[in-house]
Amino acid sequence: METRELAYFAAVAEELHIGRAAARLGMAQPPLSRAIQKLERRLGVRLLERSSRGVTLTPAGEVLAREAAKVLDAVAAATARTRRAGRADPRLVVALKPGGDGGLLPDILAAYPAHPDAVEVELVLCGVAERARLVRAGTADVAFLHSPYEDLTGFGSEPLVSEGSVAVVPAGHPLAGRERVRLADLDAGPVPRWPRDHSEITDPAALLQLVALGRLVVVAPESAGELVRRDLVCVPVADGPPTTVVLAWPEEARSRALAAFVRTAAAVAKGHGDADR
């Protein structure tokens, strides 16, 4: 099975329409039809149920769609990792979202170069959903993720720091002066609470704008509270979900530079934890 065929099938499985899939692949419809038929013949399995309204996946087709996605991911990762390994200067690419490092990154970056296996560190700031994807795709070596909000399957990981939650409210909000609040206090008001409600919004600026307008209350990890606008106030949430900042890398990674980074980060986190006590 060639990757080209798998990419074809993946497109068809997404579009459920051979013509549209062909257009997306930049090719004509007949060769795509034939390519899928050929796949079916070679596998000895029907993958598509054809009708005059489009196509649907058979159970085997569903399986192949999932497997094909994995293969294509692996191929993309192979390309990216090989390219990066071929660059003259070895680098460690670290993906994080702004404020997503639990405040540890400055100390980590300061301590890391002292390690004998250390290499240049490149930081990639990206959105929430991007980070895990970059690591899976081989574009980044390691990412700061938030457990349990993000899926760690397929990653090796090292928990760094745990922290509580704060509620972000406008400065004039009735709860703004409180020492701490409970989730029930937030829900007593008329305003929806993110991420329970409207979790489809992921842009921080947009979220905070809604908070400033009094249309939303946001519950977020403490460290994210450092980044909010001056017209907003953070109040600790007593029963808020605890969040752990974890370092995550591809499970099979064997790079010494990466291992050194993880160990440095763990040591720095331990130091911070001790200092907090």
CA Rg value for the chain = 24
Asked if 78 interacts with a copy of itself (CB under 8 A), we say yes
Residue 95 · residue 144 · CB < 8 Å? yes
Closest CA to 224 of 252, 245, 199, 209: 245
Q: Determine the size of the site formed for a copy of itself (CB under 8 A).
A: 38
| 138 to 157: interface string for a copy of itself, x by CB under 8 A | x--------------xx-x-
Number of neighbours of residue 212 by Cβ within 10 angstroms: 17
DSSP 8-class letter at 228: S
Interface residue with DNA, options 6, 39, 47, 55 (CB under 7 A):
55
196 binds, among DNA, a copy of itself, none (CB under 5 to 8 A by kind): none
| Comparison of 19 and 106: residue with beta carbon closer to DNA | 19
The bridge status of strand 217-221 relative to strand 193-194 is parallel
Asked if 75 interacts with a copy of itself (CB under 8 A), we say yes
User: Which span sits near DNA by CB under 7 A: 30-38, 60-68, 156-164, 169-177?
Assistant: 30-38
Query: Alpha helix locations (H) across the chain?
Result: 3-15, 18-25, 29-43, 59-86, 105-111, 130-136, 183-188, 204-212, 222-225, 256-276
Asked if 236 interacts with DNA (CB under 7 A), we say no
Interface residue with DNA, options 33, 157, 223, 264 (CB under 7 A):
33
Report which residue type is found at 85: A
Residue 75 · residue 23 · CB < 8 Å? no
DSSP 8-class letter at 179: S
User: Which span sits near DNA by CB under 7 A: 43-51, 101-109, 227-235, 255-263?
Assistant: 43-51
Give helix 29-43 / helix 3-15 axis angle, nearest 10°: 110
CB of 5 to DNA, least distance (A): 7
Asked if 44 interacts with a copy of itself (CB under 8 A), we say yes
> CA 99 from chain center: how many Å?
14
Torsional sign, CA 85, 88, 91, 93? negative
Interface residue with DNA, options 41, 53, 87, 277 (CB under 7 A):
53
Residues lying near a copy of itself in the complex (CB under 8 A): 1-4, 6, 43-47, 58-60, 62-64, 66-68, 70-71, 74-75, 77-79, 81-83, 85-86, 138, 153-154, 156, 251-252, 254
Residues lying near DNA in the complex (CB under 7 A): 2, 4, 17-19, 26-31, 33-38, 48, 50-55
